[in-house]
Amino acid sequence: MTTHQFRPRRYSRRSVSRKQLGLLYFAILAAIGLQISYPLVHGDVLLDVTLATVYVGAAAMIFHAFLVYGPLFSITFTIITFGYGLAIETVGVKTGWPFGRYHYDHSLGVQIFGVPLLVPFAWIMLSYPILIAARRAAAHWVFIYGGLGLMIWDLFLDPQMVDAGRWSWKLVGPHVPYEPMIPLSNAAGWLFAGMGLMALLNALLSKDRRKNSINSLAPDILLFWTLIGGVIGNIFYFHHKNIGIYVGALFFIYLIPYIFQLRFGRPDTA
C-alpha cells in the first residue's frame, strides 16, 4: 500500500452532507420562527411555543456540535451542561442561592427536584453559541466572557417569563435596573454560575474540529437573533422598552469583540 492510498480514519470524514446541513438550518429557522410567533399567540398555544422553542433550539445546537466536533464532544457537552444546569437550578429552588428566592410554575411540564426538564435544555440552547463566541473572542478568558453572555441573555429572558407566569420571585433587596420583578441577586447568580459552566466546558471539551466543511454560522444565527429578537420583542410587544434598549445595548457591546473576530480575525475554526 502506497502513501497515496493511506487515509487515516480521523481524516476520512471531513464533509457534511446537504441533507445534514438542511436539517440543521431547518431546526435553527424553526426555533427562530417559534420565537417570532411568541407574542402573536396566547393560552395553550403560547405554552406549546415556549416549550418547542427551547427543545428545538437545544436540539439544533447539539446537532451542530455533533456535525462539527463529533459524537464524543456533543454527548459530553450535553451531559455536562444538562447536569450542571439541573444541579445549580435545584440548589437555587431549594435554597435561594445563587439566584435568589424563586419557584417554577407547573405549566412548564415535568419537573425534577422542582426544576422543569425544560430548564436544563435552555442552558444547552444558549451555552453552546456563547461557548463558541467566548473561545474565539476571549481565548484566555473564556469563563469570564461566557459567564457575562449567559447573564445578559437572562436579562432578556426573565421579564418575559415572569410576565407569562412561568416562574416568580420573592423579592429581597435591590432589583435589576428597569426589571422591578427580578432581584439583582439573579444577575449576580447567573454571572457566577455561568462562569463556572464555561470554565468546566472549556476545560473538558476539545477545541479540534472533525469536519472543516461547516462553520459557526448556525449557532451564530441563534446568538445574534437573541439580540435582535430581544430588542424587538421588548420594545414593540412586551411593553418593556427600557429593557429592550439597555439590555440590547449591553448585549451589542458584549458581542463587539466576537464580531471583530468574525470580520477581521483568523479563519473560522470553531
Instruction: With respect to residue 233, please indicate whether it lies within any of the assigned structural domains.
Output: yes
Q: How many structural domains comprise the chain?
A: 1
In angstroms, the CA 28 to CA 209 distance is 21
In angstroms, the CA 77 to CA 155 distance is 24
Which of 34, 128, 38, 111 lies closest to 74 in space, CA to CA?
128
Q: pTM to 2 decimals? A: 0.92
Cis peptide, bond prior to residue 98, ω within 30 of zero: yes
Task: Tell me the pairing of strands 167-170 and 111-112.
Answer: unpaired
Instruction: With respect to residue 36, please indicate whether it lies within any of the assigned structural domains.
Output: yes
Q: Which three cell numbers stand for residue 40?
A: 402573536
Instruction: With respect to residue 62, please indicate whether it lies within any of the assigned structural domains.
Output: yes
pLDDT of 33 strictly over 80: yes
pLDDT tens readout for residues 143-189? 999 999 999 999 999 999 999 999 999 988 899 999 999 999 999 99
Amino acid, res. 137: A
Residue of 208 and 190 predicted with greater confidence: 190
Residue 137 in contact with residue 66, Cβ under 8 Å?
no
In angstroms, the CA 53 to CA 208 distance is 29
For residue 34, what are the domain limits? 16-263
pLDDT tens readout for residues 100-135? 999 999 999 999 999 999 999 999 999 999 999 999
Instruction: With respect to residue 2, please indicate whether it lies within any of the assigned structural domains.
Output: no
Residue 187 in contact with residue 154, Cβ under 8 Å?
yes
